[in-house]
Chain A
């Protein structure tokens, strides 16, 4: 089954404790990205990657890191989480660039930073 998976689905942590949210897709997609969803703000892009070893900042990259060492994986790293990073996070992938290709989203990771 074609899908985007994220782990963990739920995470409660404390300020400053490094964490990683994993994302994996099995569709051989070139493009992957991370979004955060906050009430009234919709989804905002954090980082994206156009291919292996190619990453770039989205709208709200502060406090986040990513890596793309393999085509299928795109982990999101919070080196020193803060309470304002409490949010619902989505990973997405699409086959091509260009803005017209459908993005497929993972099920989401709800993160709470105390």
Chain B
């Protein structure tokens, strides 16, 4: 059973608008969450992260929100740009339990010009 789920396999957004990617988790021991972006033929690259002691973390156009009670996090991209078109993976880990990341299935974002 997947402990981290991204229920939307794909998302299409117009350039300049907001992209919202969602992620749900079931393991209450997870206390650190990350988003990775992956372009075709490349490895995933780290995008943004959030600790469970926070409910929001912002880095430029990217903001991650964490709702611990709902075991839900989301990534907001504002404004979306065509270069943001990629597969986005949500990942979670337990701090102090090694560096093992549990990934969601990914969401393919397409930003149309």
A residues in contact (CB < 8 Å) with B: 4, 31, 33, 35, 40-45, 48, 50, 56, 58-59, 90, 92, 94, 96-108
Contact = CB atoms under 8 A, between A and B. Distances in A.
Contacts, number: 78
State the majority secondary structure of interface residues on B: loop
B99 A48 contact: yes
B30 to A, nearest CB: 9
B103 A42 contact: yes
9 contacts: A33-B99, A42-B104, A44-B103, A94-B99, A99-B94, A99-B98, A102-B46, A105-B45, A107-B41
Interface residues of B, number: 31
B101 interface: yes
B70 interface: no
